[in-house]
């Protein structure tokens, strides 16, 4: 689809598109649309792994050779994801407790949205 065809379809589908928004979309589609339209690139962009396992633990660092004031709790997340080829990839990262609460809230919202689909 050409950039002009895309803009016409968007404009016809809704009156909510501003002229500036359509100009930006036209520019981006002209510059990057080829990447999305290439079958191999689209296949690569659309692959999503499957969450196999999610574990978390609460920790507190109380001493360190390089830090004086610690005593702040943190949450360590450990994820196992199966990529489309079936290979299991493990990732871990740490968050502060407020970051973990926000992450947990967002995760619940995603779960609720998926239940509706």
pLDDT tens per residue, range 62-115: 766 666 667 788 899 999 999 878 899 999 999 988 898 998 899 888 888 878
| CA–CA distance, 69 with 87 (Å, rounded to integer) | 41
Fold for the domain defined by 48-116: Nuclear Transport Factor 2; Chain: A, (3.10.450)
Identify the pLDDT of residue 79: 92
- Comparison of pLDDT for 58 and 21, the residue scoring more: 58
104's CB contacts (< 8 A; 6+ apart) are none
Cα-based angle 67, 72, 76 (whole degrees, multiple of 5) = 100
| In the predicted structure, residue 41 carries a pLDDT above the cut 60 | no
| CA–CA distance, 19 with 34 (Å, rounded to integer) | 23
Identify the pLDDT of residue 37: 61
Domain ranges of the chain: 3-45, 48-116
């Amino acid at each position: 689809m050409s950039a002009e065809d895309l803009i016409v379809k968007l404009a016809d589908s809704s009156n909510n598109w501003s002229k500036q928004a359509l100009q930006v979309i036209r520019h981006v589609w002209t510059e990057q649309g080829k990447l999305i339209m290439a079958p191999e690139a689209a296949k690569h962009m659309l692959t999503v792994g499957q969450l196999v396992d999610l574990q978390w633990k609460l920790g507190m660092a109380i001493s360190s050779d390089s830090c004086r004031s610690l005593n702040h709790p943190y949450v360590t997340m450990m994820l196992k994801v199966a990529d489309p080829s079936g290979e299991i990839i493990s990732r871990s990262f740490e968050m502060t407790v407020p970051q973990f609460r926000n992450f947990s809230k967002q995760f619940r919202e995603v779960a609720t949205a998926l239940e509706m689909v």
